Amino acid sequence: MAEFTLVAVDGVARSGTLRLTHGTVETPCFMPVGTGATVKGLTPSDLHASGAQIVLANDYHLWLRPGLRVLEAAGGLHRFMGWDGPILTDSGGFQIFSLEGRRTIDDDGVTFRSHLDGSEHRFTPESVLDFSRRIGVDIAMVLDVCTKLPATREQLERAVVLTTQWAKRSAERSNDGATAAFAIVQGGLDRGLRERSARELVELDFPGYAIGGLSVGETRDELYDTARFTAELLPPGKPRYLMGVGTVTDLIAAVDAGIDLFDCVYPTRCGRTGRAMTRDGHFNIFNARYADDFAPVDPTCECRVCGQFGRAYLAHLFRSQEMLGPRLLSEHNVAMLNQLMRDARAAIRTGNWNVLAQSLLGRTKQSV
C-alpha cells in the first residue's frame, strides 16, 4: 500500500515520504518513464546511478507486449525488467488521447485496436487494475478518459463523468495488498469541472491522486495555472501526482504548486536526439561549438557522465552514430532532474524553497 508522510511545507511546496511495497520514495520526485518495461537506453544500474527512486510503465503497452502470461511467468514486472525499486503503471488512459483513431469508448470501458497488429483488446476499470496487480506494481493508476485540448465543455464533461464512474468501479476492488490504486482528476481547463472531478474522486478515498488531462495541447501558463488550482482541491495528507511534465521550468512550477510526483519521456527523448538538459537551459550537442568543448555537459551536475566525459566526446559519439552517445546523454538528463528534486527536497525542509526556485528560474532564462 501507499503510506504518505508529509515531512515539511515551505509556502505551498511540500516534501514528504511515500512508503511503497518495493521501497520508500522521497518527494518531490521525478519518475523516469519506462513505458514498455525499459527506460529507453538505461539499465537498472544506470537508473540507480542517476538517483531514480521509482519508474513508470504503461499497462496498454505491457498488455500488448510481452503480455500478462510472460510477465507472470517471469515473477512479475520487477523481476522481468530487473528493477528492484517501486514501479507505477499508467492505465492506458493516455492512449485514449494518443490513439484516438484506434479506440472506441463506451460506458463500460474502451476497446483498442492494437497499433502493432490491429488486434482488438478490451480495457475496463476492473481488467486494468487486475492486470497491474497481477504483475506486482506498487501504484496502479485507475482507468480514466484523457481528452485532448482544446475541447468542448460537453467533451470534457463526458470525460469527467466516465472517469468518476470508472474510479468508483476501481474503488470497489479491494485496495489491500501490494498495489495501491490512484485516481486521476480530469476536467481540462474548466475550473468547475476540475472541482467536480476532484470532489467526486476525493469522496472515494483513494490513497493518492493524479492531475491528468494536461500537457495535451494547452499553453504552459494554462498548464501551470490549472495544476496549481487542482492541487489545492486534493487532500493535503495524500500524494499528488502531475502527469506528463519533465522540464526544469515545469518541475519548479509544479513543486511550487504543492505537487509531489512527476513523470515525462522528455529527458530520455532529448537524450536520444542530442538535446542536453542543464539547469541553465538546453543545448544541441550537434552544434559545431561543442566539437572541441571539453567541459562536462553541465558543470554543476554531479552525475557520473559529467564526472567522466566532456561535451566534445558526446558530440563525437553522436556524429559517429555510436549508441553510447544517446545512452550517456539520457543518463545525464535523468540524473540532472533527480538532482534538481533532491535540492528541492532539501530547500523545502530548510525553509529555502523560494530562494532556490527563483534562482533556478533566473538561470533557465539564460542562453547556453
**Following DSSP, what letter does each residue of 191-234 receive, concatenated?**
HHHHHHHHHHHHTTT-S-EEE-S-SSS--HHHHHHHHHHHHTTS
Same domain, 240 and 345: no
Domain finish residue from 240, 264, 288: 264
* 33 in Cβ contact with 89 (< 8 Å): no
Same domain, 340 and 256: no
CA distance 258 to 307: 33
The pTM of this model reads 0.96
Considering the domain boundaries, does residue 40 fall inside one?
Answer: yes
Please state the domain count of the chain.
2
Q: Which amino acid is at 360?
A: L
Range with the poorest average pLDDT among 52-66, 159-173, 194-208, 351-365: 351-365
Considering the domain boundaries, does residue 248 fall inside one?
Answer: yes
pLDDT at 367 over 60: no
Same domain, 227 and 289: no
Q: Which three cell numbers stand for residue 234?
A: 486534493
Considering the domain boundaries, does residue 210 fall inside one?
Answer: yes
Residue identified by cell 488550482 is 229
Instruction: Report the half-sphere exposure of 253 (CA within 13 A, side-chain side).
Output: 18
Domain containing residue 151: CATH number? 3.20.20.105
Active-site amino acid positions: 90, 263
Give percent of the chain above pLDDT 90. 95
CA distance 107 to 362: 47
Give the structural domain span for 82. 3-264
Domain finish residue from 248, 264, 280: 264
Q: Which value, to the nearest 10 degrees, does the dihedral of the CA atoms of residues 177, 182, 183, 188 take?
A: -170
pLDDT at 299 over 90: yes
Considering the domain boundaries, does residue 74 fall inside one?
Answer: yes
Same domain, 230 and 299: no
Same domain, 310 and 175: no
pLDDT at 311 over 60: yes
Considering the domain boundaries, does residue 175 fall inside one?
Answer: yes
Same domain, 20 and 124: yes
Same domain, 85 and 144: yes
Instruction: Report the half-sphere exposure of 227 (CA within 13 A, side-chain side).
Output: 31
Question: pLDDT, tens digit, for every residue of 166-192?
Answer: 999 999 986 668 999 999 999 999 999
CA distance 80 to 86: 14
Same domain, 241 and 314: no
Range with the poorest average pLDDT among 35-39, 173-177, 318-322, 361-365: 173-177
Q: Which amino acid is at 70?
A: V
Same domain, 183 and 51: yes
Considering the domain boundaries, does residue 368 fall inside one?
Answer: no
Same domain, 35 and 179: yes
Same domain, 175 and 324: no
Strand bridging mode 281-284 / 139-141: unpaired
pLDDT at 42 over 90: yes
Question: pLDDT, tens digit, for every residue of 245-258?
Answer: 999 999 999 999 99
Q: What is the residue-averaged pLDDT of the chain?
A: 96
Domain finish residue from 264, 292, 324: 264
Same domain, 185 and 83: yes
Considering the domain boundaries, does residue 16 fall inside one?
Answer: yes
Q: Residue 362: what pLDDT?
A: 87
H or E element, residue 138: none
Question: pLDDT, tens digit, for every residue of 95-110?
Answer: 998 999 999 999 999 9
